[in-house]
Amino acid sequence: SIAESGWKIHNNTGYKSQCVREFPVTGMPSETGDGYVDYVLWGENGLPLAVIEAKRTIHSPEKGKHQAELYADCLEKLTGQRPVILYTNGFETRIWDDRFYPPRKIYGFYSREELQLAVNRRTERQDIRKISVNRNISERYYQIEAIRRVTEHFCTDRKPSGFIGSYRKALLVMATGSGKTRNIIALVDILVKAGWVSKVLFLADRNALVKQAKDAFNEHLPSLSTVNLTKNKEDKNNRVVLSTYPTMLNLIDTARNEEGRFYTPGHFDLIIIDEAHRSVYQKYMTIFDYFDSMLIGLTATPKDEVDRDTYKLFELPKYDPTYYYSLEQAVADKFLVPPVGMSVPL
């Protein structure tokens, strides 16, 4: 709900401090030109961050899309700032920042800080395809190519404004030992520098993998504060949060503070899934549904089973990852040596 994301809801009393219900606007395409926005979420600077159009549960949320867009037009004309557009029927909610992304389904509402960040990014965000790779983190040719494939997957051209976002999920299939973790750290470095990402969630299915990843982030991106949730408590200010799936799922389900949920759906801008062929299906899918973030998977052996389809999870055609670097190619490039079979008595 709106309140669970920290918003205090008021009837229209003339002030714009939080969430105002039934806010009047003018300029609607009707006889009087008047309209009433179901909810307007306001920033601390008195400018609108989002409009919410709420339809009855018997209707599709899409029924409110056009009306919400008209309300956004009115508020932009009134205040000079275009709000993010949300429309819902109580069961399903869509978010639409129509200056950058197409509409997408979300499972909750952003906090005030998260919406403000989304609005600020309209002018602060840079083209990730033009940010150079830090060669001190990733320098091999295939690592550079993998990073470029992801940035081109996430970003596309739009004239005359320059660029907009496109896909929000990517899968890197790379041989074990080819440096997937360093590769993803170099990619995070680009996304942070370009203003696309502020907070990152790294998920793995074993404590040892979480620790290894934290050590790697500390070594290669020491400027980003990190926390291992399997060892320490999170204070919401860390830039990189590393966790196992059960630990994060428990925080989503149970953790609260005085304002509502500890983690709201917009808290993380990017989720990284290590060993994406394992443990990320069934109940742990809830994590990826709950957080409205970009998603990058790392694996050497993707699954294509009916109930464990790695490609489907990342909305990709079967057998067509965002980037693929095989063991055979790594051996041919002399970055890895071929495996040697051993006979072990049982």
Say what the pLDDT of residue 15 is: 47
Say what the pLDDT of residue 149 is: 97
C-alpha to C-alpha distances, 20 to 17, 40, 58, 62, nearest whole angstrom: 8, 5, 24, 22
In the predicted model, residues of the chain with pLDDT beneath 50 are 15
Say what the pLDDT of residue 256 is: 60
CB 214, CB 200: distance < 8 Å: no
Task: Look at residue 292 and give its three-state secondary structure.
Answer: coil
Parallel/antiparallel/unpaired status of strands 162-165 and 155-158: antiparallel
Q: How far apart are CA 196 and CA 236, in angstroms?
A: 18
Say what the pLDDT of residue 164 is: 93
Parallel/antiparallel/unpaired status of strands 270-273 and 294-299: parallel
Q: Please tell me the pTM assigned to this model.
A: 0.90
How far from chain centre, in Å, is Cα 28?
33
122, two tokens: 């309209």
Say what the pLDDT of residue 127 is: 95
**pLDDT by residue (tens digit) across 37-92?**
988 999 988 899 999 999 888 888 888 899 999 999 999 999 999 999 999 998 89
Q: At what angle do helices 207-220 and 180-193 cross, to 10 degrees?
A: 50
Say what the pLDDT of residue 331 is: 96
